[in-house]
Amino acid sequence: MPTYHEILTTELSTLTTAAARWDGMAKELDKQETAYRRDVHGITLRPTWAGESQQAANARFGIRLTEFQSAQTEAKAIASLLRDAHTQFADLRKKLESARDDAIAAGMKVSDQGVVSYDTGKLTQGERQELAHDPDSQESVRKSVASWQARLDQCVKDVEDADKGVEVALTAVVKGPGTVGGTAPGFNGRAQGDIEKYEADEARDIARRVNAGKASAGDYKELQRLFHDNSGDRAFSQTLLDELGAKGTLQLSNSLDGLAHHGDAQHGGQYLDTQKGLATTLATATQDPHSDFYRQFRSDMRRAGTEQFEIDGLSPIPGEKVRGYQSLITLMQQGHGYDGQFLQDTADDIRHAEESYIPKGDNAGESLWALRDRFSGRDRGWFANDPLDGVLGIMSHDPKTSTAYLDPAHNDNLQYLLHDRDWATVIDHYATPPGGTTTGIPVMAEDGDDRKGFGNALAAAATGVDPGGPRPMSPTSHTDANNRVFLHSLDVLSQQGDDMPVSLRDDMAKIMVNHGHETYTAMSDPSGSRHSADGPNLKRAEVLEMTKQISRSRDSYNLLHEGMNYAIMDDIHDPSRHPEDTLHAAGTAIGFMEEGRYQALKADQHDYTWDKAWSYHTSGALLNFIPVYGDLAQRGADVVTSAWIMDEQQDQSAELTSDSQATYHLRQNQLNAIAREWYAANGHWADSHTGYSHDQGMYDQINGAANDGNAYTRGMAGAQ
């Protein structure tokens, strides 16, 4: 195991020197081959020698001639391996040196043995005394030292992994199908000069032992190292997957899952880390959709994807088997960085498989993915029992790919997922004949986390934002394709009314917030004369129905309402808008949303506050989708949101009385806060116009607009 000191002081040029000598040996062997072919093997080809003795000599001399050729191949391969090793070690040493230099620049000291400590010698006497008496500073220093030490230790570990890989390759290169009995004195005529390919061969052998249940603890540790050392290497990845095949790859993933979650849970972290390595291998191998490997592996996976496999401990039901695509997506969820075309192709193949599936017997409604019991929550939510939903969840981290896959202008995928697909993928129970106990056909149900992946992909496709990524630092711009996904989703889901899936409420709230200008325009302009300059014009009836459906879930309503506070403030600070119009629009939008909520909860015959323990905290999931507005709009939205929360908390005992109770009573704090923010932006205008005074006029204006918006919206809903 190389140490920090050895890595920095070893003379790596000896590797290239040795490589040159092996190349020289290959040249000498080539000369010897030429001489042997001419002076020894050649005499068996002369017409003066014939008969059995000639044939025997020719065969024996031919073997020796092949030995010369194989020896050259082996010598060249060793030279190539040594150069490969030099390149790897030199690159890794530079990374270690860079980490050391960064640590020193950050105020650390690094010893010759790689031990990191805080360099107090750079501090003044006063700073040293302050550090000695300040526990918080000491803790901060301790954490910083530990962080730098971990970085250097990882660099050393990377060299150790590479060193082991070189050992594997140099051991294997002198063996193989070209040797006599697999060992010396023969030479390897199929020797290769790529370290990663020898490591892939070793990984293949270990994987086969894992699948056969014959792997040792050392095997699992070595497999983990192999994946780590070759992360991102295409030669290793494609060689390994090609040798395992799609079925062998799925079996390996299933074996690791069974051990991590059931068979050896105390070492589950090691198995899951190894599985992440396998997922990275898959992502690396499939980066080029035009390669021969890609086409062959995809074809192989289409067959394995519908085959059935067992995973130890996954289900308490004996004999329960899963489909290959379910295992594939479970594996893929452990990785990242997949090529967009690979994700789309995988989704297409899964859809084709489920649409082509013909259940056996009388179970006409059974899904290809049907499994008994639930696969959501902590215990089994990790398993991708709905592989199409699962791959869409992975796809959501790539908004461009999500948009391309769901764009209704180019395919029917969005329509299939919103309307046509049967999402019942788990067997809830079995029907029994009246008066009998014989098990009948399976009764299918939707899983507890249905449409989770699709919802994320839908949000990504309609907004261009990764639901799981960092918040965009600049205003969100929407492409025509983003807008098409939004409009089609709004159209289809609003037509579904109360049958709209509950699981898509949050996602549609995020989408409407991200399309804040368009949504706010529809909510705040009863005349329909105002058009959004930032996106498509929305149908007010569809926006109302969607607001109603979103409002049937408290958390979804919270997402929408907070998000629209930002749009309100942005409109108020828009210099192109007339001040009085922005105040009226804000009130109208509040009335619109309040009536949408009332209509939703009235239909549900539920108290409008949803429950008696209302609380709200800004959702991190929402922040990604709130467009980046100016600082004034941001601060104003924070103030208005705080007032809205106060309204909610004060109305805990209120009943559902929207028909008789004015909106300004339910939203008094919020409306007042909006009015004050409006005045702060338009005070000079307000003071010079009648009816907009700071003391009373602006409050009357926004309250009246809120109630007008409420009444108009009630009329749209047919609730007058």
Domain coordinates in residue numbering, the chain:
4-172, 196-337, 500-716
pLDDT of 606 higher than 60: no
C-alpha pair distances (Å), 194 with each of 87, 425, 473: 12, 45, 43
pLDDT digits (tens, 9 = 90+) for 363-372: 767 889 988 8
pLDDT digits (tens, 9 = 90+) for 682-699: 999 999 999 999 999 999
pLDDT band of 175, cuts 50, 70, 90: confident
24 pLDDT more than 80? yes
Give the position of tokens 């009648």: 690
Nearest to 327 by CA among 280, 269, 258: 258
Closest CA to 451 of 490, 401, 396, 512: 396
Are 336 and 281 spatial neighbours (Cβ–Cβ below 8 Å)? no
Residues 6+ apart with CB under 8 A from 482: 403, 461, 462, 463, 464
Query: How far apart (Å, rounded) are the C-alpha atoms in residues 369 and 323?
Result: 7
Contact 642, 583 (CB under 8 A): no
| Rounded Cα distance, 455 and 396, in Å | 9
The architecture (CATH level 2) of 196-337 comes to Alpha Horseshoe (1.25)
- DSSP structure string for 210-226: HHTT---HHHHHHHHHH
Q: Is the pLDDT of residue 278 over 50?
A: yes
- Cα 226 from Cα 205, distance rounded (Å): 12
pLDDT category of residue 105 using cuts at 50, 70 and 90: very high
173 band by pLDDT with thresholds 50, 70 and 90: confident
Q: What CA–CA distance (Å, rounded) separates 659 from 669?
A: 20
Q: State the Cα–Cα distance between residues 277 and 153, nearest whole angstrom.
A: 20
CA atoms within 13 A on the CB side of 11: 4
Q: In the predicted model, what is the mean pLDDT of residues 237-261? A: 95
Torsion angles phi and psi, residue 151, rounded to 5: -65, -45
Gyration radius of the chain over CA positions: 34
pTM comes to 0.82
What percent of the chain has a predicted confidence (pLDDT) above 70? Answer: 83
- Cα first-last separation, the chain: 81
Q: Which residues pair with 482 in a beta bridge?
A: none
The pLDDT value given to residue 80: 86
